Chain A
Amino acid sequence: MERSLKWRILIVLAVLFVSLVYIYPSLAPGLPTWWQKALPSEKIHLGLDLRGGMHLILEVQAEKAVESAVERTVEELKFSLVKTKLPVNSVTRIEGRRIEVLLARAEDQDKFNKLLDDEFDYLVTDATDETAGRLKLLLSLHPKEAARIKEMAVRQALETIRNRIDQFGVTEPDIRPQGEDRIVIQLPGVKDPERAVALIGKTALLEFKLVEEAHSVEKALAEGPPPGTEILHQVLTDKETGRTSKTPFLVRTRSLLTGEYVTDARVTIDNQFNEPYVALNFDAKGSRLFERITEANVNKRLAIVLDGNVYSAPVIQEKISGGKARITGSFTLEEARDLAIVLRAGALPAPVNILEERTVGPSLGQDSIDQGVNSVAVGLVLVLIFMIFYYRLSGVIADTVLCLNIVFIFAALAAFGATLTLPGIAGIILTIGMAVDANVLIFERIREEIRLGKTPRAAVDGGFGKATWTILDANVTTLIAALVLFQFGTGPIRGFAVTLSIGIVASLFTAIFVARIIFDYLLVKVKMRKISV
């Protein structure tokens, strides 16, 4: 007994020491370098509901990426048909992702199929219909190609968003994919959630389109835009009244230049008007394109369109070489900066929807911590006092192991890198209440054994022996519930499941193993005559 007692005490002391080492980083303001190199140095992670911050779930509308791809294919097909001199009546995108080709001469079908095999092997012919010497073909994207585009879209969206958030400047952002087309974003401590959401959700498709001079805007509004043009609006918000005004522009649909040629975007302050604007740099190809556009359209207006809204439509004064352009429009410094960020990071391949947003302000987070800690402290003290009253010396033993329990729980949280949330704190409180249960079971048994007239030694043996199975049994069911919660739960609830599970395991250890050691020590070393229970 004596020898095993020594070993058991050593084990407990070792576990205690290791636990304190794990907890220390969370309590100390700074760690010496020698500690950081050799010993665990991570603080306990706090969940968003305690730290403040934003949790977002986005859905990438990958279907739209497929539609854009089909649209691009239509243009390329038209181009190829002209090149191969195949007379064709029309090539149009229909029903979202299919292409309808009207060949002028049905005999050209073989030549057309060869063209498809050569250059467009990812297109599949769904149906053909020959009427009056003309051939109508319905094409669609091969399902594998569509799937590939979708997957690429999601991955690209993830990277682009990550890029934007990096530039936004949030400490420890967490961005990861979920399922097929969702992205989960956590931004702890974000100060301006509104701005963050706007930044993340913006598709940011930059397009340069010519303003159509030949037609009047009013006529187009009344009768509908002529073919090849569309009506876009410029939305201006009056800073003071918050009211918006929409000015319509009639522009040619085909984009002459897009944001993918932009290599850099910087915020600069205009010296004359003291207003910020965004200065763009194009890459080599983009510069050449821009030069040609400006050369061919002097004195015409070029609309700068972002996500379908006209930002500005300045008049092209002269040919611009050197690939520099500027986007003006009464921005605040912040708006200009955000615009530069999205232009630098690039456009999203498909629009994103916000499925879920949970934001906790930092003040609420701090309040929750304070209140949580408060209730744990008060609850703990009440239980400690009660145990002493009810079980006297054994109560003190129970209290000691309860405190050990709490140390172990926090140490485990730090060791596993688990996150502490507000329900997690509730889990700790629950553990305090339920940990006592194991001790109570043992002590009640010991009392029974004493009443039956057994010696202190036999009473302790009997008590621990009979109660252990019951304790294990009972706690297994709560553990099952906790594990299910962990599996199916989200953020804060997972935190609860984690602290509850750790708490149960720790309380089993302390109540059965550690408490027994203390009793044995008192009986053997101190030679306690009577059990105070």
Chain B
Amino acid sequence: MELIRPDTNFNFVGVRRWAYVFSAVLILVGIVSLIVHGGPNYGVDFAGGSLIQVKFQKPTTAQAIRDALGDLKMGEESIQRFGDLQNNEFLVRVSQETQDLNTLAQRVERTLEQQFGQGNIEIRRVETVGPKVGKDLRQKALFAIFYAILFIVIYISGRFELKWLMSLVVALALMLAVYLAGLVGAGVTGLILIALVITLVVCFFFQLKFALGAIVALMHDVAITVGIFSLLDKEMTLTIVAAILTIIGYSLNDTIVVFDRIRENTRKYRKQAFDRVVNSSINETLSRTILTGGTTLIVLICLYFLGGPVIADFALALIIGIIIGTYSSIYVASPILLIWPPAGAVVKSKAKRTSRPKNKK
């Protein structure tokens, strides 16, 4: 059985400007959403506070719970249904301004028991994070992302450009920049942005096209995933950060497969125009790209629907990330290579063929 016929020749490279527009729109929408919501929707992991998952035996509504807890004077709270309707589970979220975070869960439980009757409620899960820890975790998460990007940049520069010296230079430049930024007192977010900007600039300057393509693709994936999450008003928790790092790994996975093919074909078909080589490489790997993306999506969709509400957001983040990651390997990473013509190859050809010429060896 074959989903993709071996002689397909979609014109990916030709439509790349449309793809850029599409991507730009998605990213913009994400940014607007972030601005409108005032930043990402931080969960208790990062914002501090208490999260209590309560299960009721008899069906009830969020409003009823809110009324019941009203006289506890807990400050800003939000109560949401969790999972399927028949679960009768709700999440009670209390921000950290409350006086005594330590005994909050007990007080909530006692008040609910009084209102709804003992035996009617069950506390399934409690997560309480003090403000200090919340800040710590935020830092940790950002550092994790930063180091991941650092190592990946080094690896890609070395592996693809075979300019290990160059990749060392990039690494040193990054560390220097980070150190300076640290002196100036930039937060970790600033660090990451600076690191990314420097990487892009260095890659552009030294014509490290493969590295540039890969990094732009993965920034694109993370940005859109975070944007969509903000759009859907989903919480940003530690698990979601883990999902983001996994998406980074996966997206690179994809991109590397295509790039490997491009390099192989560039060596094989020296006479061919570079944009034709890129396009045919993408077509050749299309089967694998769709298939791997497909099987991963199958299992993730299973996880989303069957894995229970606790892990559902995680699964959703991965699903979005993988779809976007696959898309970016085809439409974003590879076309970026075309910004520079490679040394010695024929520059862009205008003709578009509808079928690939048979390989005559």
Contacts and interface: CB of A to CB of B under 8 A. Distances in A.
Interface of A: 49, 57, 59, 193-194, 197, 201, 242, 353-361, 363-364, 367-368, 371-372, 374-375, 378-380, 382-383, 386-387, 389-392, 422-423, 425-426, 429-430, 432-434, 436-437, 440-441, 444, 447-448, 451, 466, 469-470, 473-482, 484-485, 487-490, 492-493, 496-497, 500
Nearest to A500: B246
11 contacts: A57-B133, A354-B130, A358-B127, A367-B308, A374-B307, A383-B298, A426-B315, A429-B303, A436-B291, A437-B295, A480-B249
- The prevalent SS among residues of A at the interface is helix
A33 B269 CA distance: 67
A363 B249 contact: no
A476 B250 CA distance: 10
Nearest to B308: A371
B21 interface: no
B327 interface: no
A441 B249 contact: no
A456 to B, nearest CB: 18
Interface stretch (B61-69, B148-156, B224-232, B274-282): B148-156
B271 interface: no
Given A390-B1, A478-B249, A490 B295 contact: no
Given A382-B302, A437-B292, 14 more contacts: A357-B105, A386-B295, A390-B2, A392-B1, A422-B311, A426-B307, A430-B246, A448-B6, A477-B248, A480-B148, A482-B249, A489-B144, A493-B239, A500-B246
B300 interface: yes
B307 A364 contact: no
Nearest to B106: A194
B323 to A, nearest CB: 13
Closest 10 CB pairs of A and B: A433-B296, A481-B249, A478-B249, A488-B144, A371-B308, A379-B299, A379-B302, A375-B306, A477-B252, A437-B292
A389 to B, nearest CB: 6
Interface of B: 1-3, 6, 53, 101-102, 105-106, 109-110, 114, 122-130, 132-133, 137, 140-141, 143-144, 147-148, 151-152, 155, 159, 238-239, 242, 245-246, 248-250, 252-254, 256-257, 260, 264, 284, 287-288, 291-292, 295-300, 302-303, 305-308, 310-311, 314-315, 318
B155 A441 contact: no
Contact of B306 (A371, A392, A474): A371
Contact of A480 (B123, B151, B292, B297): B151
Nearest to B114: A242
A470 B256 contact: yes
A59 B148 CA distance: 30
Given A430-B296, A473-B260, A361 B124 contact: yes
A430 B287 CA distance: 20
Contacts of B125: 358-361, 364
A383 B253 contact: no
B126 A481 contact: no
B249 A423 contact: no
Contacts of A390: 1-3, 291
A329 B123 CA distance: 30
B257 A474 contact: yes
Contacts of A57: 133
B256 A375 contact: no
Nearest to B296: A433
Contact of A354 (B102, B242, B287): B102
A389 B1 contact: yes
B292 A436 contact: yes
B306 A490 contact: no
A236 B34 CA distance: 50
Contact of B242 (A382, A434, A493): A493
A175 B262 CA distance: 53
B5 to A, nearest CB: 11
Given A474-B256, A480-B148, A383 B310 contact: no
Contact of B128 (A358, A466, A470, A490): A358
The winner among B129, B141, B260, B305 for most chain A CB atoms within 10 A is B260
B126 A357 contact: yes
Nearest to B143: A488
Nearest to B286: A444
Contacts of B314: 423, 426
A482 to B, nearest CB: 7
A202 to B, nearest CB: 11
Contacts of A485: 144, 242, 245-246
